[in-house]
Amino acid sequence: MKKITTLLLITLALTTPVLKSFNVYRPVVKIAIVAPFSGLYREIGYQVLNGARIAVNEYNNSDIALTEIELIAFDDEGNPTQAQEQANKVLTDKKVLVVIGHWLDKTTTCCSSNIHECEHTSTINQLQAI
């Protein structure tokens, strides 16, 4: 009996790392960040992006991750016209389920109606993040 128990423990110890190394398919969910990555307000955009990268990496590397999260960054330059163009790009990708942005009042105002009308995304803007 002792030999069987020892053999089972050794087998378990040797097979556990092998089983964990198999990649299980996880569907990809995209999170879009629309922020100024150039221009006067670029520091805000990179702070948001770096924080999001840390959170996504922690989630993707955790044992509880049922999906793979992919971040996509869109530069609105802090400009309402560019913000509208970037919002339209985000809305064409059906795998984007969450949009984080815009970070300035002028860019949020011009894009909020388009993004809120989209049925497949949820939005978080600077007012909701506070």
Residues 54-105: tens digit of each pLDDT: 999 999 998 888 889 999 999 999 999 999 999 889 888 888 888 888 888 8
Question: Is the residue at 115 inside a domain?
Answer: yes
Provide the CATH number for the domain around residue 51: 3.40.50.2300
Question: Is the residue at 8 inside a domain?
Answer: no
How many domains does the structure of the chain reveal?
1
- Cβ–Cβ under 8 Å, residues 36 and 103: yes
Token duo for residue 121? 């995304």
Global pTM reads: 0.70
Residue 65: per-residue pLDDT: 83
Residue span of the structural domain in which 50 resides: 25-129
Region at 23 (left for phi over 0; alpha for psi -120 to 50; beta for the rest): beta
Token duo for residue 111? 């894009």
C-alpha distances in Å from residue 113, one per residue of 2, 29, 43, 93: 69, 23, 26, 17
Question: Is the residue at 19 inside a domain?
Answer: no
Pairing of strands 28-35, 68-75: parallel
Question: Is the residue at 45 inside a domain?
Answer: yes
Percent of the chain's residues with pLDDT above 70: 68
Question: Is the residue at 5 inside a domain?
Answer: no
Residue 53: per-residue pLDDT: 95
Residue 19: per-residue pLDDT: 47
